[in-house]
Structure 1
Amino acid sequence: MKLVISLLLCYLVSTTTWAASNDLDQLLHDVKQRQMVERKINHTREAEFLAEKQNQQQLLQAAEAALAKQKRLSGELKTQLESNEELLAKFEAQLKERSGELGELFGVARQAAGDLTANLISSMVSAQYPDRTGPLIEMIESKALPTIDQLETLWFTLQQEMTESGKVVRFKHEIQVRGNRQEADVTRIGAFNAVANGEYLHYSPETNMLTSLARQPASRYLDLIDTFSHADSGSEPLGIDPTRGVMLSMLIQTPNSMERIQQGGAVGYIILALGALGFLYAILRLVILSITGKKMHQQMHNETVSDDNPLGRVLFATEQSSSDDTATLELILDEAITREVPSLEKGLSMIKLFAAVAPLLGLLGTVTGMIATFQSISLFGTGDPKLMADGISQALVTTMLGLCVAIPLLFLHNLLASRSKALVQILDEQSAGILSRRAGK
């Protein structure tokens, strides 16, 4: 039994060894096959690399040949450039020598063209003759010497501007009035002003349009436009702006009387109302005193006593008294005159009060305006004067209104006081005459 088992084990070992020997032979065979394939691939790659190396060598030789050719060409061009620069410098020196003072002349011509272009852009004449600056700008921007035609254009444009500046011309042109465009007969006064439809016009270079001013000057200037526009010959007065619009723009920005009053605010309106009331009352009292004085003068020359005037009522009181005693008559006259004096001096204290209160209200408006000004300064600083303009305007305008009301009221008060005092003096004189006549009897 043991022998059988030993034989079986020997058989299995020999079988396993034979199988393993076959696998190793197969592996060795596969390795040799792969080495042969890789060797062929490597030979192929080496051949390709050698061929590519020869090709790169040929390309390198061609590039070196091209580089050498370009270097030779660069040298030739550099030599030619130096030659051309020498020739150009020679020609420039020759041109400068031949031109002489013409260079300075052309520089002056370009400067004159620049100055003229700046004037033409804002000139009123350009509204009638547009597109005059194109040739001048071309002449200024050109680096070449000006041609004869360009110099003649400069001369002609300058002469045209000078000539048109001394003319009064009427022509049809499209103007813009409050946003609406319309055709109008425009009258141009040199290069200073243009008028149409009774209004002054402003020239806008951006749109080449004549535009009606947003605000026209005072009526005394506009009335001259109508007279001037309808004149066919001769000379007529007209307000012109020699600064070509600067003075006119400042003039139309000046506030009128109503705007000045509005700047005074509520205090200004109170001062004006007080002044109007004082003026009306003073005029009323002046008329009453004038009528009373006229009646008193008539009574002085009339023997018939009338009670429609103070003198007549005083005389009537003496006639009713039957006493011949001078002292009693004097008391009667004093009583009668005392009754008439308040009616003659009526309203003087009121007018004096108005004259005194008006400047005080102006001072109140001044203080209010300065308070508003300092509030603006504390909030926004002093960088923008326009923020302080309202307060300062109110301060100054109220002071001005207070003085404008107080000064005439003081004159009226003085006039009324003088009138009433003169009438009271008449009563005193007449009463003294009555006493002297009674005493003589």
Structure 2
Amino acid sequence: MHKSMFQRLARLSIASLVLVSVGVSAQAQSQASSADGSLADLLDTVRSQKEQEAERNQQRVQAFINKVDQREAMLSKAQADLAAAETRQSRLQDAYGANEKQIGELQSELDQRAGDFGEVFGVVRQVAGDLRSTLNSSLTSLEAPGRGNFLDDMADSQSLPPIEDVEQLWTVMLDEMVASGEVSRFSHAYVTPDGETEQGRIVRVGTFNATTGGQYLRYNGDTDELSVLARQPNSPWPGYADNLAGAQTGSDGTVSGVVDPSQGAILGLLIQKPSLVERIQQGGLVGYIVIAVGIIGLIIALERLFKLVRTEASMRRQRKDLDSPSKRNPLGRVLAAYHDNRTTDVESLQLKLDQAILADVPGLERGLSTIRVLSAVAPLLGLLGTVVGMIATFQAITLFGTGDPKLMADGISQALVTTVLGLVVAVPLVLIHSMLAGRSRRLIQMLEQQSTGLVAAHAETARA
């Protein structure tokens, strides 16, 4: 092998010398054609250059031969490195195969052991998600903000959570259960209906509702803030909030309060419930007329009741002193007529007493007919409001259809409210009229009884 390589190198050197000599000859000829020297100088120059070129070529060949040995050493080293790498590759392949087998066995063991925990992991994630939603909308988060931050990672985790997170989940659930049955007081900021933020003492009733200063609050879980209801519920609900605000911490007594299990939905419905003034306003003009009729009838009834009670008291006092008649009451005037006509016959005395009674009857019955008329007019006005309200309802249906019931609510409200107002006014007026009429008849009967008794006593005296 070394001999063949040497022969190839020798051939290559000879070919190089031939090429160099040819090049030198061509250069010499070129110089001879261009220079003015003699041929002898040219020949000496060619020989000199040829010798120098031959010496340089010999040096190159020797350097090349020296590098061949060096390359053989490098080749031997590369072959040794290749053999070592192949040996290492074989060893690594064996180790890789063993590791693959071991990994398969460990994976099978892991799948077998994790099979029972797969269902538990799903339940833990579901419970964490549900508890996260509960805490985000719970009033108790105001007192312990940030306690459910770890639930985000647990609910979205794709691996089994550590036992510390599971224990923390259990603890937070117990805290929420306990807080849902407590009435707590704490200081927190809240937003007033004017949009201003104030700091106040909050009374929390479990996870249901919160109050401050006798006002009900609404909790917004998205913004994590409390706000006073723009409109508080009607009586008696504000009183329950006052009871909670004024209750002493740690006292053994009990107070009445409000629990809204819908977390504000029921209070929202109570807020939407119209007040008494708003109900009256729904009745419109007819409703105001009905109320005016009721007020007029009530004023007349109160005046008549006061008058009749006062007259009855005067007549009772007069019955105890028949010999001293007073013209300030009907019975006294009847007795005065008797004393003025004691010397007349029985028939004339009877007529005089009847005349005195008839003179006081209009005063005792005054206003009763007006009350009776008003009690009959009130339901008729209510019926009128009903008709007006139904007309407004049908007009709304004609213009807008029946798609939105709110468009018909005004007419229906007017119809119902006026009907209610008519009945509310008429029923008391009827009862009051019946009571006043009975009292008036009782006074008239008292006058007639006294008149009859006086006439009988006068007849017996005349006969004697």
TM range (shorter): 0.7 to 0.9
- The alignment partner of 1:100 has SS state of helix
What is the distance in 2 between the residues matched to 1:226 and 1:412? 38
What is the distance in 2 between the residues matched to 1:352 and 1:87? 107
User: Is there any run of 5+ residues in structure 2 with no aligned partner, and where?
Assistant: 1-99
Kindly state the Cα deviation for residue 290 of structure 1 after the two structures are TM-superposed: 0.7
Is 1:412 matched up with 2:432?
yes
Kindly state the Cα deviation for residue 224 of structure 1 after the two structures are TM-superposed: 3.5
Is 1:278 matched up with 2:278?
no
How many pairs were matched up?
Answer: 358
The code of the aligned residue for 1:314 comes to: V
Is 1:191 matched up with 2:219?
no
Q: 1:312 to 1:143 in 2, by over 3 A?
A: same
The code of the aligned residue for 1:182 comes to: E
Deviates more, 1:247-256 or 1:140-149: 140-149
Kindly state the Cα deviation for residue 159 of structure 1 after the two structures are TM-superposed: 1.4
Equivalent position of 2:218 in the other structure? 202
What is the distance in 1 between the residues matched to 2:266 and 2:354? 68
Give the counterpart of 2:351 among 331, 335, 356: 331
- For the Cα contact (< 8 Å) 1:296–1:311, is it kept in 2? yes
Equivalent position of 1:53 in the other structure? none
Deviates more, 1:193-202 or 1:431-440: 193-202
**Alignment RMSD, CA only?**
2.3
- For the Cα contact (< 8 Å) 1:127–1:210, is it kept in 2? no
Equivalent position of 2:249 in the other structure? 232
Equivalent position of 2:443 in the other structure? 423
Kindly state the Cα deviation for residue 187 of structure 1 after the two structures are TM-superposed: 1.8
The code of the aligned residue for 2:249 comes to: D
The code of the aligned residue for 1:286 comes to: L
CA deviation digits over 1:270-309, x for unaligned, max 9?
1111111110110100000111111111111112011111
Is 1:301 matched up with 2:320?
yes
- For the Cα contact (< 8 Å) 1:127–1:203, is it kept in 2? no
What is the distance in 1 between the residues matched to 2:250 and 2:162? 43
The code of the aligned residue for 1:167 comes to: E
Structure-to-structure mapping, 1:31-430, within 5 angstroms = 94-178=109-193, 179-230=195-246, 231-234=248-251, 235-302=254-321, 303-321=323-341, 323-430=343-450
- For the Cα contact (< 8 Å) 2:342–2:349, is it kept in 1? no
Q: TM-score, normalised by structure 1?
A: 0.76
What is the distance in 2 between the residues matched to 1:344 and 1:88? 114
Q: 1:329 to 1:113 in 2, by over 3 A?
A: same
What is the distance in 2 between the residues matched to 1:403 and 1:241? 35
CA deviation digits over 1:363-387, x for unaligned, max 9?
1111111111111122222221211
- For the Cα contact (< 8 Å) 1:307–1:316, is it kept in 2? yes
The code of the aligned residue for 1:112 comes to: V
CA deviation digits over 1:344-364, x for unaligned, max 9?
111111001111111111111
- The alignment partner of 2:187 has SS state of strand
Kindly state the Cα deviation for residue 217 of structure 1 after the two structures are TM-superposed: 1.9
Q: TM-score, normalised by structure 2?
A: 0.73
CA deviation digits over 1:113-164, x for unaligned, max 9?
2222222221111222233443223222222233323322321221121121
Runs of 4+ deviating beyond 4 Å: 85-94
Q: 1:164 to 1:338 in 2, by over 3 A?
A: same
The code of the aligned residue for 2:250 comes to: S
What is the distance in 2 between the residues matched to 1:142 and 1:279? 74
- For the Cα contact (< 8 Å) 1:202–1:213, is it kept in 2? yes
User: Identity of aligned pairs, percent?
Assistant: 48
Larger Rg: 2
CA deviation digits over 1:156-212, x for unaligned, max 9?
221121121122222221111121011112121221121112211111112110111
